[in-house]
Structure 1
Amino acid sequence: MRCPYCGSLDTQVKDSRPTDDSSSIRRRRVCPDCGGRFTTFERVQLRELTVVKKSGKRAPFDRDKLMRSVQVALRKRLVDPERVDRMINGLVRQLESSGEAEVPSEKIGELVMQGLKPLDEVAYVRFASVYRNFREARDFGPLLDELSSEEGGPPPEKSKQDV
């Protein structure tokens, strides 16, 4: 592992332990050349995935890109980062264990929406608005109706005092 401080290729592992959800190994490393200390994470990758985009282009699956898009939807929302990481890990495991080397981007988007809905409804709506390419405010109607019907009925109407 290359040292991020001096670029040396000779770093030493000082401590290894599984993460809380046992989905990766956390390694504490030290560089003998500059004395720099840093942490790396090692994950199991079952297979190389390729994302097939709507245009037909193919790109390697990028877990970090997926995490960034979810974090954009969750911006300024109070959601435990560990829950987000578990959701992403579960999604990636589901994709890798599906047996398919090529995954349509639509499938990834739908899986993210399924994961976000129980995590945070606002983030779910934010992600859906970009994923489904909403153009006008009325495009949100069916999505919000779906959410309110799952909660057991329509949202309460506001009285004149609330406005």
Structure 2
Amino acid sequence: MRCPFCAHDDSQVKDSRSSEDGAAIRRRRQCEGCGARFTTFERVQLRDLTVVKKDGKRQPFDRRKLERSIELACRKRDIAPERIDRLISGIQRQLETQGDDVSVERIGEAVMAGLEGLDHVAYIRFASVYKDFSEPQDFTEIAESVEAAPIDPKPDRLL
């Protein structure tokens, strides 16, 4: 593994442990060149996903984009980072089992389903961007729809 600090090609694994409920392995490494320590994560990837955009363009699936959009929706909410990471990993696994091509609509619906059971405010935040809210009434309608819905203490259940 190349060192992110000095670009030396060799590093030594100092510690390995399972994380994210066994969905990834966290490795603590030390560069043999400069001695700096850094962390890497190893995840199972079932297949290479291609995202099909609304205009028909295709691009490789980028987990970091999914992470950023969910973290933005969850910003300043009292949600454990482990729960957010489990949600992201669950969505990715779900998409990987459905085929090589995945539409942006399918990704959005999976995120909506996951956030609805995780946190109502995060769900409404994501929905306002995903569904392109343009009127205050849009917020009222979605708030009324989730008001009576319970929060799932284990958001591993997706679509």
Secondary structure at the residue paired with 2:21?
Answer: coil
Secondary structure at the residue paired with 1:107?
Answer: helix
CA distance in structure 2 between the aligned counterparts of 1:149 and 1:93, rounded to whole angstroms:
29
CA distance in structure 1 between the aligned counterparts of 2:72 and 2:148, rounded to whole angstroms:
26
TM value normalised by structure 2: 0.90
Q: Any stretches of 5+ residues in structure 1 without a counterpart?
A: 152-163
Name the aligned partner's letter for residue 6 of structure 1: C
Aligned twin of 1:55: 55
CA distance in structure 2 between the aligned counterparts of 1:144 and 1:150, rounded to whole angstroms:
10
Aligned twin of 1:12: 12
Aligned twin of 2:90: 90
Name the aligned partner's letter for residue 142 of structure 1: E
User: Which protein has greater RCO, CA pairs closer than 8 Å, 6+ apart?
Assistant: 2
CA distance in structure 1 between the aligned counterparts of 2:137 and 2:20, rounded to whole angstroms:
42
CA distance in structure 2 between the aligned counterparts of 1:28 and 1:150, rounded to whole angstroms:
41
Aligned twin of 2:3: 3
Aligned residues between the structures: 150
CA distance in structure 2 between the aligned counterparts of 1:84 and 1:38, rounded to whole angstroms:
22
- Cα RMSD (Å): 1.2
CA distance in structure 2 between the aligned counterparts of 1:27 and 1:138, rounded to whole angstroms:
48
CA distance in structure 1 between the aligned counterparts of 2:12 and 2:147, rounded to whole angstroms:
54
Aligned twin of 1:110: 109
TM value normalised by structure 1: 0.88
Deviation at 1:29, TM superposition (A): 0.8
**Residues 20 and 63 of structure 1: CA distance in aligned 2, closer, same or farther (over 3 Å):** closer
- The correspondence of residues 10-159 of structure 1 with structure 2, limited to 5 A, is 10-98=10-98, 100-150=99-149
Give me the identity figure in percent. 59
